[in-house]
């Protein structure tokens, strides 16, 4: 098992979340691929979209329903600072994950997080487990608890 996936598993276990990481037969790099693999609606996939807070230089996490897009202006207003693109190196350094497998949990360092209310329309959602082939299911409530995310409208 990859180190990235072990961190995800450890975070889920530490929080007492009864969730299993599932290996998919096909790649789950995108929300569309993940939804097809899980056999769920695209909005049931929690995308972990990372931006760079240009004031602090730190990464910020937007847990976004698969079919939604982050609106830059709304997201910046929420953060209270301009946001820029987080490149692969920043994402890797702060989260410990590579693009396509960024998990919402098990990060190397604490990350400020926001959660798309659309995700709360489902009893269970799916997210990346640290690799482009593994996902796990979790309730939106548990995901909120683990990420300490703020629920806010940042899509458009």
* Closest to 147 measured CA to CA, from 122, 121, 127: 127
In angstroms, the CA 18 to CA 135 distance is 14
Region near ligand 5CA per CB under 6 A, out of 4-12, 43-51, 111-119, 138-146: 43-51
Q: Between residues 96 and 101, which has the closer beta carbon with respect to ligand 5CA?
A: 101
Phi and psi dihedrals of 134, rounded to 5?
A: -125, 135
Handedness of CA 51, 52, 56, 57 (dihedral sign): positive
- The contact pattern for ligand 5CA, residues 48-67, with x = CB under 6 A and - = no contact, is xx------------------
Q: What is the DSSP letter of 13?
A: H
By the rule CB under 6 A, 31 interacts with ligand 5CA: yes
**Interface pick for ligand 5CA out of 47, 52, 107, 118 (rule CB under 6 A):** 47
Region near ligand 5CA per CB under 6 A, out of 4-12, 53-61, 112-120, 126-134: 126-134
């Amino acid at each position: 098992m990859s180190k990235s996936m072990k961190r995800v598993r450890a975070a889920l276990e530490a929080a007492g979340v009864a969730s299993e990481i599932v290996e998919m037969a096909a790649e789950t790099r995108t929300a569309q691929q993940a939804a097809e693999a899980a056999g769920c609606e695209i909005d049931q996939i929690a995308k972990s979209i990372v931006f760079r807070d240009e004031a602090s230089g730190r990464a910020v996490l937007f847990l976004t329903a698969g079919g939604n897009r982050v609106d830059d202006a709304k997201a910046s207003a929420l953060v209270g600072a301009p946001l820029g693109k987080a490149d692969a190196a920043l994402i890797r350094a702060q989260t410990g994950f590579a693009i396509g497998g960024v998990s919402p949990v098990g990060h190397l360092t604490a990350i400020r997080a926001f959660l798309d209310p659309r995700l709360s329309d489902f009893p269970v959602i799916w997210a990346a487990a640290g690799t482009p082939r593994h996902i796990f299911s979790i309730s939106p409530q548990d995901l909120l608890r683990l990420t300490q995310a703020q629920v806010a409208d940042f899509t458009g």
